[in-house]
């Protein structure tokens, strides 16, 4: 059984949180690494949607291009106050064909009611955000919470060199090696790490992820953190390989 995950990104919430992060040394978010949270949570990514308030302007265009290039399906709205409404509408739309799990990339407490409803319907929910900006209600209601600080925030110059990019086809990567992932002994997984397109930098992270993937469940936050650490150390792929993804 494979867990099919829908990933939702509240772009403004994450960017505001990153701007307030104590390490203000020009750190920026790697949107491809954010997409990897869905894989780290234990499943294949069915859909990954980001909502962005994008009034006309070069800055908004650059951000929208970065999101789209990282593999996100992007929905833009004209004003910041429309973002929350758009995210709720997307969640409601996706629930018509319920996913196996939901990864919610926003610490905004205003989303608590619809996420509670999803959980009550039997859908596992992982909330992820920057430390200090995840609403206390998620902890009080015992949602699994993954803190993203050292997983997706990198110095701008390091990210510009492409040293931490996760492969662009991360959303569908498991399907390429399904037979091996489902049946191979743990000892044989090491060779997958060397395959072009494998989003893991070491076999330990791959083994942790596979245990959740095979069981069709989401990882607990600590396991997800360990999986994601294996993802973020991945070296960039050759340009030729990226073109074929």
Average pLDDT of the chain to the nearest whole number: 83
Local structure of 45: helix, strand or coil: strand
Give 55-64 pLDDT, tens digit per residue.
766 567 888 8
What pLDDT shows up at residue 57? Answer: 62
Question: Could you state, in order of their start, the residue ranges of all structural domains in the chain?
Answer: 4-233
CA-CA distance, 150 to 165, in Å (whole number)?
14
Residue 90's pLDDT band, with cuts at 50, 70 and 90, is very high
C-alpha to C-alpha distance for 146 and 130, rounded to whole angstroms = 9
Rounded to whole angstroms, the Cα distance separating 12 from 48 reads 16
Alpha-carbon distance 112 to 118, whole Å? 10
Using DSSP, state whether 17 is helix, strand or coil.
helix
Q: Give the residue among 235, 216, 63, 94 at the shortest CA–CA distance from 166.
A: 235
The burial of 228, by beta-carbon neighbours within 10 Å (0-12 exposed, 13-18 middle, 19 or more buried), is given as buried
Local confidence band at 196 (pLDDT 50, 70, 90 cut-offs)? confident
What are the C-alpha distances in Å from 12 to residues 74, 84, 168, 217? 13, 10, 22, 29
Mean pLDDT of 29-46: 86
Q: Are 227 and 209 in contact (CB under 8 A)?
A: yes
Q: Is the pLDDT of residue 241 over 70?
A: no
Q: Is the pLDDT of residue 240 over 80?
A: no
| Sequence-distant (≥ 6) Cβ neighbours of residue 38 within 8 angstroms | 5, 7, 45, 48, 103, 171
Identify the pLDDT of residue 91.
96
**The model's pTM:** 0.87
Q: How many Å apart are CA 202 and CA 153, to the nearest integer?
A: 21
From the CA atom positions of the chain, what is the Rg in Å? 17
| Whether 34 contacts 9, CB under 8 Å | yes
Cα distance between residue 26 and residue 161, in whole Å: 14
Q: How far is CA 63 from the centre of its chain?
A: 17
Q: Does domain 4-233 have CATH number 3.40.50.1010?
A: yes
Tell me the C-alpha distance between 69 and 73, whole Å: 10
Report d(CA 172, CA 116) in Å as an integer.
28
């Amino acid at each position: 059984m494979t867990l099919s995950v829908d990933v939702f990104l509240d772009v403004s919430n994450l960017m505001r949180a990153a701007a307030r992060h104590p390490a203000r040394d020009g750190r920026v978010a790697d949107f491809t690494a954010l997409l990897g949270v869905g894989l780290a949570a234990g499943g294949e990514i069915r859909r990954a949607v980001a909502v962005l308030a994008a009034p006309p302007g070069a800055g908004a265009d650059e951000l929208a291009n970065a999101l789209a290039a990282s593999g996100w399906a992007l929905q833009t709205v004209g004003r910041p106050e429309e973002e929350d409404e758009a995210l709720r509408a997307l969640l409601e739309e996706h629930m018509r064909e319920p996913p196996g799990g939901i990864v919610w990339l926003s610490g905004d407490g205003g989303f608590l009611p619809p996420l509670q409803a999803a959980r009550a319907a039997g859908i596992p929910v992982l909330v992820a955000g920057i430390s200090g900006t995840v609403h206390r209600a998620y902890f009080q209601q015992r949602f699994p919470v993954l803190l993203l600080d050292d997983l997706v925030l990198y110095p701008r110059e390091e990210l510009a060199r492409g040293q931490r990019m996760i492969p662009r086809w991360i959303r569908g990567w498991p399907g390429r090696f399904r037979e091996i992932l489902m049946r191979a002994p743990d000892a044989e997984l090491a060779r997958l790490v060397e395959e072009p397109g494998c989003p893991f930098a070491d076999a330990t992270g791959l083994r942790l992820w596979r245990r959740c993937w095979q069981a069709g469940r989401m990882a607990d936050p600590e396991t997800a953190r360990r999986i994601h650490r294996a993802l973020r150390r991945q070296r960039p792929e050759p340009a030729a390989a990226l073109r074929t993804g």
